[in-house]
Structure 1
Amino acid sequence: MVQEKSCLEKINEVLEEIQWESVPLDVRTKAKECLADFVGVMLKGSENSLSAALRKALGEEPEHNPEDLALWLGSTGRMPDTDDGHRFAMAHPGVVINSTAIAMALHLQHVKGADLLEAIIKGYEMYCYEGRVINPGAYLKRGIDATSVCGGAAAAVVAGSLWGLDKQQLARAISLAASLAGGLNQSAIDGSAQKYLVAGWGAKLGIACARMARENLGGPLHVFEGKLGYCNAFAPEPNEELLYHPRLNWDIRNVYIKRYACVRRIHATLDAISDIMGKTGLTPDRIKSVKVYGSQFLYNAGGYEPKDGAQAQTSVPYTVTLLLHFGRVEDREVHAHLQDAGLAAYSHRIEVIKDPEIIALAEKDKSLWGAAKVRIETVDGTIYNGKQIIPYGDPELPFQEGIVEQKFLGMVENTLGKEKGEAIWARLMGLEQEDSCESVFQNVLKVL
C-alpha cells in the first residue's frame, strides 16, 4: 500500500517546479516590481524613529548578521503600511520575503540576480499557499497575523533556496519555520510597534530555520495537517481542498501594490471617495457627513482619534479625513496629524456602518472583506454615492504602467534622491542580468 504524501512533501514538490528558465515573463516582471516596491517602502520606513530604535536594539550593526538584518529591514518595510499584500492570503508577503532575499544576497555576496528572483517567486508561492489555507478565519476569528505566521516558512524557502539546500533539507526548513511561527494582531486595535515587528520576525525565523536545516535539524512531517499542527493551531476554518492538494499558481501574480499608507481593508473606501472627489471637485468644508457601509471587518476599523501610527493606519475616520484634506494618505500625513485637534473633530463627520449587502457579499466571497459603499452629504443637502468592491492595485484593477515606478521614486526621494533612485530602479528591473546583485543592495544600505 502506497502511503499518502504529507502536505509538506506536496508543497515542497510544487516549489521544485519553479525554475527560472520556465518562469513566465509576467511573473518575472512582477517579482522585480515587488522587490523594487519593497526597497522603496523600506527606505521610506527608515525615516521612522522606530526603525532607528530597532537598529539600536539590535546592536546598531545588524548588517553583520543576516537574521538581524532581515529583522530590521522587514520591520522597517512594514512601518509605512504601503508594502504589498495578497487579498486571498490576507497579509503582507513582500516585507518578509524581500527582506530575507536582500539579507541573504548581502550575506552570500555572489548571488546571481536570476537566482534571487527565483527564490523570491518560490517564497511568494509558499506564503500564499499557507495564507490561502488558514485565512480569513485565522485573522478574523483567532487574531493571527499571517505576515509572520506564513512568513516564517516563506523566508525559510527563500534562504534555503539561496543556500542551495536539497529537497529534504528544504522540507526540514519549512517544517521548522511552520512549527515555530507566531504572531498576533491585537496591534490592529491597541496600536504598538508589534504590528511592524512581526514582519521582520518572520524573516529572521525563516533564515534561522534554513540555517538549522543545513545541519539536518527539522520539524514534523505532518506539520500542516497534523492533529497538533499548523492548521489546527491557526485555522478554525481551513481550506482543506487546497491544504491537501497544493498546486503551482504563480501566486505572485495576485499580489497587490498599495497607494495609501493604511491597512488594505480601508483602500476600497478611499478609492470610492477619491473618485467622487475627483468627479465633483468637492472640498472638505462643503461636506457635512460621510457614511461608509461595509462588513464587520470594515466596521471594526471605525475608531476615532488614534494614539499612534499603527492605530492611525487602522482608522477609517482618520484616513478618510486625511484624504479629504490633503488628497492623499501618505506616511508623513499619517504621523504628522495625530495631535491635530481640528482634524480629530472633523473625523467625527465620518461614520462606519455595517451593511447587509456588503456583509452578504463578503460571506459569498471571503476575499471581499474590504468592499465598501460610501454616501457623502454636503452642507447644502446634495448626496453623492459611490461603491468600490476591489481596490485599485489588485490584479482585477491593476495600476497603469509606470505607477509602481512613480511610487518607488516618490518613496526614495528623501534617501536616495532622484538620480540615484532612477539608477537603482533600472538595476532592479534588469536584475536577472546581474552576475552578483550584492552591489545593488549595498548601494541601498549605504543611505540607511
Structure 2
Amino acid sequence: MSSNGVVTNGTSAVATKLNESEAANIPVTEIFADFVANAHTDSLDLEMREKLKEVIVDYIGVTAAAGYSVDSTPPIYKAVLALGGAEGSSTAITKGQKFTPQYAGFLNATFGHSMDFDDTYSPGTLHAGVTAISAALTQAELMGSTSTSDRFLLAVAVGYEVTCRLGRELGYEAYSQGMHNTATAGIFGSVAAISVLKRLTSRTIEMAFGFAGSKASGSMQYLENGSHNKRLHAGFAVHDAFLCVALAEAGALGATRIVEGKFGFLNAYSPNPNKDLKRLTEGLGTHWEWLVSALKPYPACRMTHGFIEMAGDLAQKHSKEVKGIICALSPSNFSVVGHRTPNKLHPENIVDAQFSAYFQTANAWIYGSNTGNAAYNKLDDPRIHALCERITCVKDSSIKGFGSTIEIEYADGSKEKQDMPFPLGEAEHPYTRDRVDQKFFSLATPVYGKDDATRIRDMVNSIEKHTIAELLDLLGREASAF
C-alpha cells in the first residue's frame, strides 16, 4: 500500500492481467472442479493425517475460546438469533443449540478467526483452516451416517488446498487493493470442502465456484478503526459457500472460467504481476501445497510474530534500559502492521493491537512473549505505551514472507541485532506437537474443563474411530464467560 497504491513483496508493480491465451489454454476452474470431484481418501497418507489432526485440534481450541469469551461474540451471536438462524440441526461450537447450516458455519468460522490465533499459510498470506474446517464440520454433521471421518478429513484437506493455491497466486499484492485473502480465497475452499462431502459432480462444483466468484469479499478497511469486520470475513465466506453450493445443486447457472477469466477472480482481486496458471494447477492432487501451513504461537497478526519472539527472548537475557528499538519488515508487511499511525502506535482496541508491531514488540519486551490473549488486558498499560514511543518500524525490501529483524539500542550505547527469517511455526522453525497440545489445553480447558478437553483432543487424535457427530456433541455444549 504505497503512495501509488500497489506494493509487491518489496517492489512496485502495476496491475497485471493474466495472459488471455494462457488462460484459454489452462482451464483452471475446470481443473479445480475435477480435482474436488475426484478427490479420494487414498490421498490421506500418514503425514497428511497427522497434519490434519494437528490443525483440527488447534482450530477447536481457538474457536472454542473465542466462542466462550471474545468481545465480539455476543453481538454477532445476537444478530444470528435475530435472523432466525437458530432453527436448524447444525452445531455452533459452545452455543448449546442448533442452527441452520449456513449460520452454524458462519458462527464457527467467525469464532475461529476472532482471536487471530488460527493457522496461516505464508505464500498466500492467509488463514485457510478456519474456512475449510468450519465448512467441513457443518457439512459432515449434515451427512450423518452417510459419510465417514475419513471423508471429513479429505474434505478439510481439499478445502485447504484450494484456498492455499488460490491465495498463493493472489499474493501479498491483493492487499494493495484492500482485499483480504483469507476471505476471498476462503469461499472457494469452503465450496470445495462441502462438495467433497456431498460427492458433487465436476460440473456442479464448477457452477458453485462460479457463484463463489461473485460472493468473494473481504475489505482491509477494518484496519482503520479496529472493527470486527475481519473476524466476520471467514464467517461470511463459509455462510455464502453453502448458498453457492445450494444454487449450483438446484440447477442455477454460474459463471464459467471464474478463476482465470478476463473479469475473473485472479484478475479482479489482485495486481500480482507473477500470477502463474501452470503453477496454480501443477501437481494438484499429488503435491499438497497446504501442508506447509503453520500454527500460530501468538494471538496476533502473523507479521508481528518475529518481533514478539525476538523481543521476548532478548529481554530475558538482559535487564538493561532500552533507548530505542528498530523493527524491520518487508514493505508489504509494513503496510499492514508498521505504519506509525495513532491506532498502531497506541492501540485502544484489540484488533488494532493485534495489527500493531509497536504494541506487540513492547508487550513482549516488558511482559514476555507468552502472555497470550491476556496481552490485550494491557491496552492502557503506561509502560507499554512509553516503550511504543521508542520503537521505529522500517521497510526492508530484502526481507521476504513473514521474516523480520530487530535492533535494540540500550541506554549505555550498546546495540544488539537479531534476524528471524521464519517465525515460530513455519517448517524452517517448527512448532512441535507438544506445543500444539499445550496451546490447545490453555484455550480449551477454561471452556470445557480438563477432562472434556482431554476427551476432545483424544477424539481428534483417533478420529477414524469416531463420528463427527460424537465430536460435535462435545464441542457444542453451552459455555460462556459472559
Q: TM-score, normalised by structure 2?
A: 0.85
Equivalent residue for 2:276, pick from 240, 251, 271: 240
Equivalent residue for 2:148, pick from 106, 112, 118: 112
Amino acid at match of 2:260: E
CA–CA separation in structure 2 for the residues paired with 1:75 and 1:244: 28
Say if 2:126 and 2:182, in contact at 8 Å, map to a contact too: yes
Q: Determine if the alignment matches structure 1 residue 208 to structure 2 residue 240.
A: no
- 1:263-302 matches, within 5 Å, as 263-278=301-316, 280=317, 282-283=318-319, 286-300=321-335, 301-302=337-338
Q: Which residue of 2 aligns with 1:324?
A: 365
Q: Which residue of 1 aligns with 2:425?
A: 393
Q: CA deviation at 1:401?
A: 3.1
Identify which range, 10-19 or 90-99, moves more after superposition. 10-19
Say if 2:120 and 2:126, in contact at 8 Å, map to a contact too: yes
1:63-117 deviation line (CA, Å, top 9, x unaligned): 3211011111111111111101100111111111111122223333334211110
Q: Which residue of 2 aligns with 1:147?
A: 182
Q: Determine if the alignment matches structure 1 residue 411 to structure 2 residue 440.
A: no
Q: Which residue of 2 aligns with 1:313?
A: 354
Q: CA deviation at 1:216?
A: 2.4
1:221-265 deviation line (CA, Å, top 9, x unaligned): 211111121122112125124466443231221111001111111
Secondary structure at 2:205 match in 1: helix
Segments of 5+ residues of structure 2 without an aligned counterpart are: 1-23, 87-91, 93-97, 339-343
From the superposition, tell whether residues 269 and 295 of structure 1 become closer, same or farther in structure 2 (CA, over 3 Å): same
Q: CA deviation at 1:292?
A: 1.0
Segments of 5+ residues of structure 1 without an aligned counterpart are: 363-367
Equivalent residue for 2:100, pick from 65, 69, 72: 65
Equivalent residue for 1:228, pick from 263, 267, 274: 263
CA–CA separation in structure 2 for the residues paired with 1:17 and 1:395: 29
Identify which range, 78-87 or 185-194, moves more after superposition. 185-194
Q: Which residue of 2 aligns with 1:384?
A: 416
Q: Which residue of 2 aligns with 1:133?
A: 169
Secondary structure at 1:360 match in 2: coil
CA–CA separation in structure 2 for the residues paired with 1:214 and 1:247: 28
CA–CA separation in structure 2 for the residues paired with 1:9 and 1:330: 46
Q: Which residue of 2 aligns with 1:19?
A: 40
CA–CA separation in structure 2 for the residues paired with 1:243 and 1:251: 11
CA–CA separation in structure 2 for the residues paired with 1:239 and 1:86: 17
CA–CA separation in structure 2 for the residues paired with 1:318 and 1:71: 30
CA–CA separation in structure 2 for the residues paired with 1:27 and 1:325: 39
- 1:46-61 matches, within 5 Å, as 46=67, 47-59=69-81, 61=86
Identify which range, 398-407 or 253-262, moves more after superposition. 398-407
Secondary structure at 2:392 match in 1: strand
CA–CA separation in structure 1 for the residues paired with 2:125 and 2:198: 29
Q: TM-score, normalised by structure 1?
A: 0.91
From the superposition, tell whether residues 175 and 243 of structure 1 become closer, same or farther in structure 2 (CA, over 3 Å): farther
Identify which range, 238-247 or 21-30, moves more after superposition. 238-247
Amino acid at match of 2:32: I
Q: CA deviation at 1:6?
A: 1.9
Q: Which residue of 2 aligns with 1:341?
A: 382
Q: CA deviation at 1:341?
A: 3.2
From the superposition, tell whether residues 399 and 392 of structure 1 become closer, same or farther in structure 2 (CA, over 3 Å): same
Q: Which residue of 2 aligns with 1:447?
A: 478
Secondary structure at 1:14 match in 2: helix
CA–CA separation in structure 1 for the residues paired with 2:321 and 2:144: 57
Say if 1:35 and 1:98, in contact at 8 Å, map to a contact too: yes
Q: Determine if the alignment matches structure 1 residue 6 to structure 2 residue 6.
A: no
CA–CA separation in structure 2 for the residues paired with 1:183 and 1:329: 30
CA–CA separation in structure 2 for the residues paired with 1:26 and 1:244: 22
Equivalent residue for 2:205, pick from 170, 174, 193: 170
Say if 2:125 and 2:181, in contact at 8 Å, map to a contact too: yes
From the superposition, tell whether residues 309 and 218 of structure 1 become closer, same or farther in structure 2 (CA, over 3 Å): farther
CA–CA separation in structure 2 for the residues paired with 1:55 and 1:82: 20
1:274-301 deviation line (CA, Å, top 9, x unaligned): 33234x2x24x73232211222234332
Equivalent residue for 1:80, pick from 115, 123, 131: 115
CA–CA separation in structure 2 for the residues paired with 1:50 and 1:112: 34
CA–CA separation in structure 1 for the residues paired with 2:45 and 2:280: 26
Secondary structure at 1:387 match in 2: strand
Which stretches of structure 1, 4 residues or more, deviate above 4 A after TM superposition?
Answer: none
From the superposition, tell whether residues 269 and 16 of structure 1 become closer, same or farther in structure 2 (CA, over 3 Å): same
From the superposition, tell whether residues 5 and 384 of structure 1 become closer, same or farther in structure 2 (CA, over 3 Å): closer
Say if 1:175 and 1:221, in contact at 8 Å, map to a contact too: yes
CA–CA separation in structure 2 for the residues paired with 1:75 and 1:342: 32
